[in-house]
Amino acid sequence: MVMLVAPGRSDQPDLLRRISMLRRRMSAENARLYLKEKLLQELMGPTMRTTFVSHDPCVMQAYREVFAELSQVLERMEVARDSLNHVNLNFVNAVSMRMSQASAGFDLRMMFISQITTICLPMNLIASFFGMNCKVPWSADDVPNLNCFWSVVGIMCAWALICMFQPVQQLIFQKKWMCSGVRGVEGGGGGLVAPCSRSSMNVSLVPCERLFLSGLLEKN
């Protein structure tokens, strides 16, 4: 679910705030549990067995049981902390993935614009050549009709159509591929998530810190 958190002004800061709050709670809980563990170790030590707090064997057995249960809780807290670190890492990876996708889309658009500019360059040169204040071929003084003019215009249009076919085809193919990847993700299949699918990936975060922590502590 962390990978589905869409970038925005509310979802990402809210997730980071919840992760930081959960880390603080887990740190405080770990500190209290470690203090209890240290106290139990002191009570079960050889120096305390001669005192009234650890002289009874039943009390020592109770200390050992509590210490074993406390050790299990501490192990689960370690698992919870590792899980939280993985959640944070997944979130960072999701942000990096979206940034890479946005950069790839920007590179694709810039490549398309560069190709269009390169295709239009010869036409600009021809138009500039015939627009000079000098004698050029097929001028109105030499040719009484506009057949040459329309021939040049037709050649330029044919050049533009032929050269723009491949860039436009590549652009359409990329758009279809990205949209098919979005449909695959939304339908439960594989595929990459395109930047245009951010609006369909909004996920409402619910208060789950207590459920997350209690669920990990109640395992096994």
Query: Quick check: helix, strand or coil at residue 8?
Result: coil
Residue tagged 């030590």 (tokens): 45
Q: Which of 88, 20, 79, 80 is nearest to 211 (CA)?
A: 80
Structure tokens at 112: 């398309």
In tens, the pLDDT along 134-170 reads 777 777 777 788 888 888 889 889 988 898 888 888 8
Neighbours of 124 (CB within 10 A): 11
Domain-by-domain residue ranges, the chain? 7-108
CB 213 within 8 A of CB 11: no
CA distance 119 to 166: 11
Task: Answer whether 71's CB lies under 8 Å from 37's CB.
Answer: yes
> In Å, what is the CA distance from 2 to each residue of 91, 161, 203?
6, 46, 9
Query: In a 10 Å sphere around its CB, with 0-12 CB exposed, 13-18 middle and 19+ buried, how is residue 37 labelled?
Result: middle
Alpha carbon distance 62, 67 (integer Å): 8
pTM value is: 0.48
Q: CA 16, 21, 22 angle in degrees (round to 5)? A: 100
pLDDT at 198: 41
Instruction: Tell whether the torsion through CA atoms of 104, 106, 107 and 109 is positive or negative.
Output: positive
Q: What's residue 132's pLDDT?
A: 79
| Per-residue model confidence (pLDDT) at position 194 | 42
Closest CA to 30 of 102, 81, 68: 81
Q: How high is the pLDDT of residue 213?
A: 45
Handedness of CA 43, 48, 53, 55 (dihedral sign): positive
Determine the pLDDT at residue 56: 80
Residue 10, pLDDT score: 67
- pLDDT tens sequence for the chain (220 residues): 444 555 556 667 777 788 888 888 888 888 888 888 888 888 888 877 777 777 788 888 888 898 899 888 888 888 888 888 888 888 788 778 878 888 888 888 888 889 888 888 988 888 888 877 777 777 777 778 888 888 888 988 998 889 888 888 888 887 777 666 545 444 444 444 444 444 433 333 334 444 444 554 454 4
Q: Phi/psi of residue 192, each to 5°?
A: -90, 155
The DSSP 8-state label assigned to residue 208 in this structure reads -
Q: Which long-range contacts (CB under 8 A, 24 or more apart) does 14-23 make?
A: 14/205, 15/91, 15/205, 16/91, 18/205, 18/207, 18/208, 18/209, 19/84, 19/87, 19/88, 19/91, 21/209, 22/84, 22/209, 22/212, 22/213, 23/81, 23/84
